[in-house]
Amino acid sequence: MRGAGLAEIEALYRSRFDRFATVACAVTGSQTAARDAVQDAFASAVRRRGQFRGEGSLEAWLWRAVVNEARTQQRRRRSRERLEERAAALEPAADEPGDEPGAVDSFVASLPERQRLVVFLRYYADLTHEQIADALGIRPGTVAATLNAAHARLRPLLAGASG
Amino acid sequence: MERLSSALVEAARPRVEFDPDWDDVLVRAQPRRRLLRHAALAAACAAILAAGAAAASSPGLRGGLLSIFDLARKTDPAPTWRLAGPRILAAGPLGAAARLTHVDPATIREIAAGGSGYRRLVLVGGLGPDREPWLAQVGPGWASDFFPLFGALTQVDRPVWHTRTAHGWDGWQFPMYGRSDSHRALFDYVAFGGSRRGAVEWATLVGFARSDVAHVVVSTRAGARRALVVGTRGAYAYAAVRGPALPRTLTAYDAAGHVVGRDTVSLPLAP
């Protein structure tokens, strides 16, 4: 076990912040939840830096932490929204507009979770197939297949939208 | 077709509206503080931050917000100011402050934020009764009054508030900038406090920089220099949780590394 240095973690945080934050925003769909996901993931990495085994890259280890924390935040957000929806169902409808996703957002949101994660890491974080595989704990071949599947799934949606 | 769907994914790329805050990471990494953060932050800041994300948009609002820094543009057209950040719901103390000075609650936006727990500080801006920018500082459970961005003749007016709290005392100071300050590279706002009178033990500084500022360096009381990230909106933040890390000066640099501004940070003790 080699452990990770605090300075190394801080350097990656500062140099890759925009990418971590963008992926967290894409996964959670919320600025507040995304901020918490990135901050808490790095706080956890700081606490557990002695457990980093050095088997993969430190960046991949941090990506795994951010993606996992973002998924946790997303689940919490969904649970809270479900509770709020139940509460709202008992009250008259408010005329305050919500943050409805646009058509493009809806297409991407319609992808299964793994496809969405691979797409976000590929296009928003610019990670290679190998880095995505490291970050998600899957094989590079699976990354390529998942990306292909995502493109195949978007194809009819694009056709439907243009038709 | 793959290129087309890649473009589709790119079109859905979310915009990030928050800035890096390494000090906040370190604070969250401490288990005791983590509990404190959840208790205090959830209770006091949830209305501000969560509601900000959920706040409704309204037609014409963007146009109003674009004018938040128009005042600076009028007198200094070359380096312009950037847009403010996400919308903030003016509830609780912030709502009361907005009503008091007739700041339009629909125009209130987050400009910069830093710190965590009871050290959290958010700088917000909105359009005042004169349709010019008015700013306020917001923390967990408190909000300053709104003041016009350029409301003073000179920078001699610096309202200071101190409050006794469960953890000691908190304070904040509101720098009153005059119209002659519209050339400034940095606009700083600070909250601070300590566990006992006679000593400032923590400080959270937030601010916004002119568009030609590439990075900001803070010099601490211990003599260390730390580079602060200037966000896409020009916002920056610095949180010191220990005395030696308290900010002393801020220096603004342009992309070529030239100094374009310098500020001294004032942290007045509780009386």
**Residue-wise pLDDT tens digits, B10-19:** 777 888 888 8
pLDDT value at residue B45: 33
Q: Which amino acid is at B23?
A: D
> Would you call B112 helix, strand, or coil by DSSP?
strand
Q: Partners of A147 in the beta sheet? A: none
Helices (H), A1-139: 6-28, 31-47, 58-89, 103-109, 113-123, 129-136
Q: What's the mean pLDDT in A63-69? A: 92
**Predicted complex: ipTM over 0.85:** no
**Residue B116 to residues A54, B28, B145, B156: CA-CA distances in angstroms?**
31, 8, 21, 30
* The pLDDT value given to residue B107: 84
Q: What is the pLDDT of residue B158?
A: 62
Is the whole model's pTM more than 0.90, yes or no? Answer: no
Task: Please report the pLDDT score of residue A137 as a whole number.
Answer: 84
Is the distance from CB of B225 to CB of B217 less than 8 angstroms? yes
Interface touch B6/A39, C-beta < 8 Å: no
* pLDDT at residue A104 greater than cutoff 60: no
Let me know: does B129 contact B102? Beta carbons within 8 Å: yes
Q: How far is CA A23 from the centre of its chain?
A: 5
**Percent of all residues in chain B with a pLDDT value above 90, rounded to a whole number:** 15
* Cβ proximity of B26 and B243 under 8 Å: no
Enter the tokens of residue B173.
Answer: 């100071």
pLDDT of residue A17: 93
Res B126 pLDDT > 50: yes
Provide the residue type at B108 as one letter. Answer: I
pLDDT in tens, A121-154: 988 888 999 889 888 888 888 999 998 888 888 7
Least confident range from B117-121, B145-149, B177-181, B213-217: namely B177-181
> In the numeric block, which tokens belong to residue B228?
């602060």
Evaluate if residue B56 carries a pLDDT over 60. Answer: no
Q: Report the pLDDT value the prediction gives residue A160, as an integer from 0 to 100.
A: 55
pLDDT of A97 higher than 70:
no
Sort out which chain A residues have CB atoms less than 8 A from B18's CB and list them. 21, 31, 34-35
Cβ pair B26:A46 closer than 8 A:
yes
The least confident of A38-47, A74-83, B46-55, B130-139 is B46-55
Give pLDDT, residue B164.
79
pLDDT reported for residue B37? 44
Chain A: which residues have CB within 8 Å of chain B? Answer: 10, 13-14, 17-18, 21-22, 25-26, 29-32, 34-35, 39-40, 42-44, 46-47, 96-99, 102, 104-105, 107-108, 119, 123-124, 150-151, 154-155, 158
pLDDT for residue B254: 86
Residue A10 has its nearest CB partner, among B22, B49, B53, at B22
Q: For the residues of B115-165, what is the DSSP string, one character each?
A: --GGG-EEEEEEE-TTSSEEEEEEETTEEPPPEETEEESSTT---EEEEEE
* Mean pLDDT score of chain B: 75
Question: Helix %, strand %, coil % for chain B, to 5?
Answer: 30, 30, 40
Among B1, B10, B18, the residue to mutate for chain A (most A Cβ within 10 A): B18
Output b/e per residue, B65-76; b: 16+ Cβ within 10 A: beebbebbeeee
Distances (CA, A) of A132 to A14, A57, A73, A115, B81: 20, 11, 20, 12, 38
Q: How far is CA A30 from the centre of its chain?
A: 11
